Structure 1
């Protein structure tokens, strides 16, 4: 058994959650993938995967083995890259995670341009608004908004993201426009779900931070869904300024309490903390940092 080949196969199975998906990704047959995993388990003397007809999941041993195997493979890749002088010609698989809104509006285009400049790189772009675990999910770089959970990771600050209150013209025509933050209590409110601050809302105004009560009528864990709800006239809500500039220009959305804004949200590029940071990861993070001013 080629241990490094089997280790590579195990890592891809763990990341993709499927023997068949890993087989397609690696250009192998599913029986070949199964044989390599079985050989690795026999060599290690422990079960790494629970197998079902539809998917596989990591055992406790597999969960412990995965990050170590990933780090070994990354270190080998980086060493070979340095020895072969490939730093100017980036190659390999780059798995990127980003929030839905920024991902659709900005990062997708940036990732496409990056791949076109480096055609030997295979981009895998994952867009959703959850906080992904870059280590356990095999993510090379994640764009993270707000609070950081940095265990086992490195974070590079890209900048901040401005957020403002907006509503549709139709909603304001029917319900009126609030003139003070206190008047928000009398309006329907749209907000991101999963928050731990109850009905409280903090805004920064001419006199500093103010906390007021709001009454949520629509919650979602996806920025694009929230934007659609605001445009539909359900209520007033907060939105990331880069995502709504065109809507403000086109007057499909209107600023509410324009002298107030949400506390700035920090934006970071997060990637696994390993001894060897692959050149492709460094290059993509540099690309994000250089492009951020233009994004926002």
Structure 2
């Protein structure tokens, strides 16, 4: 029995090493020292009688046997975890570590409260919320569930739509008083815009109007990769730009930002929860997804 448990533990360590690509990264993820990770993988190799990993001073690569073993070990570990949850009872206390990733602005404004409420309801669970506007690899970062905007890349992930964010054109009263209020797409060429650093490769503004989609040339005055920074720049009058509802509701209510050209807007953004494709979805992920869906439905 003890040897079987050791093999299972070694299997779990090996899978994380294979996914993260290094012993040290797997150690950080599993809260183990690098020597401990190496020892468990070596013990597993000795038990199997084959080398699973080729180690050099600069890189780590799976052997042919390692690739085959990894493909079979993943569903085995999932089945073991599923069996443990069934015995413990999925309606009982959730345990383990739950890692969530979300876009920075939306995550800070909304997901943070949703995550805090969830952890308070499940004190046996350790919850980690990672805020990042970049697309992260869920497997490499050991992310259980991520929130993503817009069109989803073909990634083999399971996706569930949570809602849609509207994006409108806004500017501050001060900016409009100084530069005038545009009322047509052509008039935007006389203005300056505030926008995300990664939004487009050039100074274009992709809009949707009564006749469909169009690209308008608008000189950019201020770039940022953070929603809150962009909102500050818009309020300060550095330019006009697109902003997500409901993230600027407070600024609109206070008159710090005004909607302009209401017949034109950015394309709406679908909001999805995504998680790795698997026959087995852990109870903690299913429970958080249900909690997240309820929380987001009260926002968008």
Supply the distance in 1 between the matched residues of 2:84 and 2:24 (Cα, whole angstroms): 29
Q: Report the Cα offset of residue 285 of structure 1.
A: 1.2
In structure 1, stretches of 5+ residues that fail to align are none
Q: Report if the CA contact (8 A) 1:157-1:267 is conserved.
A: yes
Higher-Rg structure is 2
Aligned pairs for 1:135-150 within 5 A = 135-150=139-154
Supply the distance in 2 between the matched residues of 1:236 and 1:256 (Cα, whole angstroms): 9
Supply the distance in 2 between the matched residues of 1:27 and 1:200 (Cα, whole angstroms): 46
Match of 2:249 in 1: 245
Supply the distance in 1 between the matched residues of 2:196 and 2:75 (Cα, whole angstroms): 35
Supply the distance in 1 between the matched residues of 2:141 and 2:28 (Cα, whole angstroms): 19
Counterparts in 2 of 1:170 and 1:59: CA distance versus 1, 3 Å: farther
Q: Secondary structure at the match of 2:246?
A: helix
Q: Report if the CA contact (8 A) 2:207-2:265 is conserved.
A: yes
Q: Which of 31, 41, 53 does residue 47 from structure 1 map onto?
A: 53
Supply the distance in 2 between the matched residues of 1:166 and 1:193 (Cα, whole angstroms): 18
Aligned pairs for 1:203-214 within 5 A = 203-214=207-218
Supply the distance in 2 between the matched residues of 1:143 and 1:51 (Cα, whole angstroms): 37
Supply the distance in 2 between the matched residues of 1:132 and 1:11 (Cα, whole angstroms): 19
TM-score (structure 2 length as normaliser): 0.83
Match of 1:289 in 2: 293
Q: Report the Cα offset of residue 191 of structure 1.
A: 1.8
Aligned positions, number: 292
Q: Report if the CA contact (8 A) 2:90-2:283 is conserved.
A: no
Q: Report the Cα offset of residue 177 of structure 1.
A: 2.0
Match of 1:258 in 2: 262
User: Runs of at least 4 residues of structure 1 off by over 3 A?
Assistant: 9-31, 37-44, 48-52, 57-72, 195-200, 204-211
Counterparts in 2 of 1:23 and 1:168: CA distance versus 1, 3 Å: same
Q: Which of 219, 234, 240 does residue 236 from structure 1 map onto?
A: 240
Q: Report the Cα offset of residue 192 of structure 1.
A: 2.0
Supply the distance in 2 between the matched residues of 1:14 and 1:137 (Cα, whole angstroms): 12
Match of 1:116 in 2: 120
CA RMSD of aligned residues (A): 3.0
Supply the distance in 2 between the matched residues of 1:5 and 1:279 (Cα, whole angstroms): 21
Q: Which of 182, 186, 190 does residue 190 from structure 2 map onto?
A: 186
TM-score (structure 1 length as normaliser): 0.84
Q: Which of 67, 76, 79 does residue 83 from structure 2 map onto?
A: 79
